Amino acid sequence: MIFASFEFLFLFLPAFFAVYAVVPAGWRNAVILGFSWAFYAWWRVDFLTLLIGASLLNWLVALEMARAGVGSARAGRWLAFGVGLNLAVLGYFKYANFGVDTFNDLLGLAGQDPVAWSAIVLPVGLSFYILQGISYLVDVHRGDTPAARRFLDYAAYKALFSQLIAGPIVRYSDIALELAARSFTLAKFGAGARKFMVGFAMKVVLADTLSPVVDAAFALPAPQLADAWIGAIAYTLQLFFDFAGYSLMAIGLGLMIGFHFPRNFDNPYLAASIQAFWQRWHMTLSSFLRDYLYVPLGGNRRGPGRTYVNLMLVMAIGGFWHGASWNFLIWGIWHGGLLALHRLWSTRSAGRRDPRRRGERRDALAAPLPGGVERRGSGDRRRDAPRALPWWLGHVLTLLAVIIGWVIFRAVTLAEAFGIYAGMLGLHGAGLSDALAWHLTPDRVATFWLAIAMVYLPGLLILARARGLVPQPETSMIARVWWFAWPVMAFLVAIVLLYSRDAVPFLYFQF
């Protein structure tokens, strides 16, 4: 069952809200847990036991750490035990096939027979709920959040269906207070429903319409220049509207029942540097990598050389987390290298502008790593490195680097990725092949350009409102009506499209 399906929209969701609305507040976590387990079991009932087991493990380990004392040596041993088990589960289900396949490839090169192996099925959402478990244990050990006393509360957090499968990666500390007590109001329900409808339209109207174009382009054995660039740009758009749409739907569903999940996207394709891109893309993963990998490794506090190594290592791990494939590892290294180059360039640029800043070390939380935010007092402010380039040039270079990375991220094999790269360089010709042209129907071409327009629309609206060209929703009745009306219209269009074609799974389900 996926959000963009009739089973979810007209069976699961109405039943959930009907029960949730009538039970006493003290029973609502139990309702969340029961429906969430049923939601997860829709795919594979047997994998539900793995989710329950992971929930029970982390809950018990956290309690033992709390009994041992925050930061104590005994609590540290419990932390190592819990994190180790979480990583072992993730490693077995996600990376065992890759390890055996790689070993068999080496045996083949040596002229030896391969090892017999039955492929392991990856449970849906495993990567996300394992990361949640690790963040919970580390936060309890650091004293950033208390251990959950009731298994019901922790299990409800762990299984919460609105963010279980593909994030955003919600930390226990983000919603611990709301797990204990939250309001279920019409205002929150309406605001959440609006977010859900917008995310649903992003997924069905834009991402799913572009999906056949992407599949056709990446299936070409020798894509030409137009084929490769159309396919790469279409995937860049598809992935954003698919994943950002899912995240917005999850945030909306959470708000409908009183939870405030962290934002996961902030117009990443408007970024003018690779650092800004990672501050805006998959923000909950970016902050996880920063807080639980980059900073513990030393961040930028141990000199420039170690900083570059940390950036490369963290992004390589982040890439490999996405999937057991050399493609994902290379993609992570690509972005790690880009972040390291950006830091080197920005440091030298700052030194040239102000010699007093040479050698200055910035706080680790403000480092140019995914999710880097400078924290000052009660507010957070993005810290932009000095730029010698105009915004438009930085934006073009950043987007080009991101598109190049998305090619190897999308390709099934390295050979497929290299084929697209060769096409992007025009090595297979400069035209548009008939095989791809057949898929470029008028509705898909229109969606392609609409998606591009939607990428830039938020930035244009900000500029227009700053100059008084567009009224604020709270100051204009027409703007207010439109603010409420267009998500409903977009949702209805998405429902019609969903009825006319098969549901397309969310792209991040496979990661």
Q: Which residues are catalytic?
A: 322
Cα 64 from Cα 194, distance rounded (Å): 42
In terms of Cβ atoms closer than 10 Å to its own Cβ (0-12, 13-18, 19+), residue 129 is buried
Residue 8 to residues 3, 11, 46, 129, 259, Cα–Cα distance (Å): 6, 6, 21, 21, 20
Chain mean position to CA 248: 11
In 216-334, the DSSP E strands lie at none
Q: Rounded CA gap, 27 and 509, in Å?
A: 30
In the block, which residue shows the tokens 């963010």? 163
Q: Which class for 465: exposed (0-12), middle (13-18), buried (19 or more C-beta within 10 A)?
A: middle
Respond yes or no on whether the N-terminal peptide bond of residue 168 is cis (omega within 30° of 0). Answer: yes
CA 417 to chain centre: 22
> How far apart are alpha carbons 462 and 270 in whole angstroms?
12
Pair 308, 343: CB distance under 8 Å: yes
Using CA of residue 91, residue 94, residue 97, residue 98, what is the dihedral sign?
Answer: negative
Over the range 96-115, which residues count as b (16 or more CB within 10 Å of their CB) and which as e? Answer: ebbebeeebeeeeeeeeeee
Query: Coil, strand, or helix at residue 196?
Result: helix
CA-to-CA distance for 241 and 432, rounded, in angstroms? 25
- 3-class secondary structure, 323: coil
Secondary structure (3-state) at 380: strand
Q: What is the DSSP letter of 4?
A: S
Give the angle subtended at the CA of 131 by the CAs of 128 and 133, to the nearest 5°. Answer: 110
Q: Among 280, 210, 141, 191, which residue's Cα sits nearest to residue 450?
A: 210
First to last CA, the chain: 17
Coil, helix or strand for 326? Answer: helix
Q: What CA–CA distance (Å, rounded) separates 34 from 387?
A: 51
Provide the phi-psi class of 124: left if phi over 0, else alpha when psi is between -120 and 50, else beta: beta
Comparing CA positions, the residue from 348, 322, 406 lying closest to residue 340 is 348
> 73: Cβ–Cβ under 8 A, 6 or more apart, which residues?
none
